[in-house]
Chains A and B, each alone.
Chain A
Amino acid sequence: MADTMQFDLVSPERNLVSVPVREVRLPGADGDLTAMPGHAPAIVNLRPGLVTVVAGDGSATEFAVTGGFAEINNDSVTLLAERGHPRAEMTQAVFNEMMAQARRRVEVAKERETAGEELVAAAVKLLADMEALGTHIGLDPNQANFPH
């Protein structure tokens, strides 16, 4: 069996990354998972978090994503994310903006009369995941407390 597989990180606007990799660690909605060549085909929902991509020579690259889903095949992983940033580009400013967006969603969900409990809960969970992501890579979620 081949020891690498194709990894694509696709955003709605363009293809962000397309490289051969040895393994991909994904922040699944139900828990983290690692995909390696020969993985059973699966479609996995992602929560906001870090995606770690390990290239053939063992070097790892990290990307921050704001959720989306991954399509895992025998010899390829395709990640569809609305936003994906290499970790190096995840500055406080970018993170602030993401946090603001997540907060806005919570507010919108709460305001909406017809929204069920689940919708609010989902938005709150998204916000919590975003905060965890920020803390994990050393960015301060509370700095993003500007009014909008």
Chain B
Amino acid sequence: MPSLKDLKNRIGSVKNTRKITKAMQMVAAAKLRRAQEAAEAARPYADRMASVMAGLTAAAAGSDMAPRLLAGTGEDRRHLLVVMTSERGLAGGFNSSIVKLARQRLQELLAQGKQVSILTVGKKGREQLKREYSDLFVHHVDMSEVKRIGYENARQIADEILDRFDAGEFDVATLFYNRFETVISQVPTARQIIPAVVEEGEAAASALYDYEPDESAILNDLLPRSVATQVFAALLENAASEQGARMTAMDNATRNAGDMIDRLTTEYNRSRQAAITKELIEIISGAEAL
């Protein structure tokens, strides 16, 4: 049975924790709004890019002249997994869900006898994968200095990936990130970026365009940009998801702290009452004895 003083201290410390989680929740809510706005603002570029790409790739995919970024290396042996996580924890299952999906994929690929390398973005995923797969790591991108995700960040990551592709290090590259669905639901997603996935159905209007210089030159210029755009979109979605996950996690933590305070307060009042009753009994029985 804890003493009254212990209980009081305990209640005090849980109250402090509640203040912190409450503050973190509100900070996450504000950041989430900004992250969502950034993701929203980036959409027109990505959409246009995708529609132009769809037109061009549909035409080029069939021909023998298709660039390697589109047609692939002709093999499916070496895979690069780009695992995007956050720099900070306390975001519920945000990081573990990405890592879980990546690990699952990794084991599948290894079981098939493929060669796998890992590129991590963000500290948390690296920490979780390091124990088992540290020998597969090829590169790590540190985002802890980045306050606001800009296109420049995405381009650096994309350049890193493209350099390795040009150097012939892998055949297929896949991004792992959390797709932002709603504030309470983020879906871990795997998205293949190299070779580019041709989206069907949007290509209908493309034949009408004149291309200058010509289709293959534009496609060669566009494919690396498209990789960067997809990395950028994934980074933004991830950032919004992270804040959403953190907000939900902190909301839960705040509520749990409240429940705990209620329980501890009840216990505190009971023990206090018990102590009073005990003293009274002692006084009364003392008086009766006289």
Contacts and interface: CB of A to CB of B under 8 A. Distances in A.
Interface of chain B, main secondary structure: helix
| Chain A interface category by residue count | 20 to 34
A19 to B, nearest CB: 15
Interface string A1-27: 000000010111111000000000000
Interface in B178-234: 208-213, 217-218, 221-222, 225, 228-229, 232
A8 B45 CA distance: 10
Nearest to B148: A13
B151 interface: yes
Which of B150, B154, B163, B210 lies at the interface centre, i.e. has the most chain A CB atoms within 10 A of its CB?
A: B210
Q: Which of A8, A43, A44 has the most CB of B within 10 A?
A: A43
Contact of B212 (A14, A42, A68, A80): A42
A15 B210 contact: no
Interface string B159-174: 1000100111000000
Contacts of A29: 212-213, 217
A41 B38 contact: no
A108 B156 CA distance: 12
B167 A45 contact: no
Interface residues of B, number: 33
Contacts of A80: 45, 48-49, 52
A36 B49 CA distance: 22
A107 interface: no
A12 B163 contact: no
B2 interface: no
Interface in B22-49: 38, 41-42, 44-46, 48-49
Contacts of B155: 82
A59 interface: no
Contacts of A14: 41-42
Interface in A30-68: 30, 33, 40-45, 68
B48 A82 contact: no
Nearest to A83: B151
B144 to A, nearest CB: 21
A72 B210 CA distance: 9
Interface of A: 8, 10-15, 28-30, 33, 40-45, 68-69, 71, 78, 80, 82, 108, 112-115
Q: Top 9 nearest A-B pairs by Cβ distance?
A: A14-B41, A42-B210, A12-B151, A44-B212, A10-B45, A12-B45, A41-B209, A41-B208, A43-B209
Given A13-B150, A80-B48, A114-B166, 8 more contacts: A12-B154, A12-B228, A15-B44, A40-B210, A42-B210, A43-B56, A44-B212, A112-B167
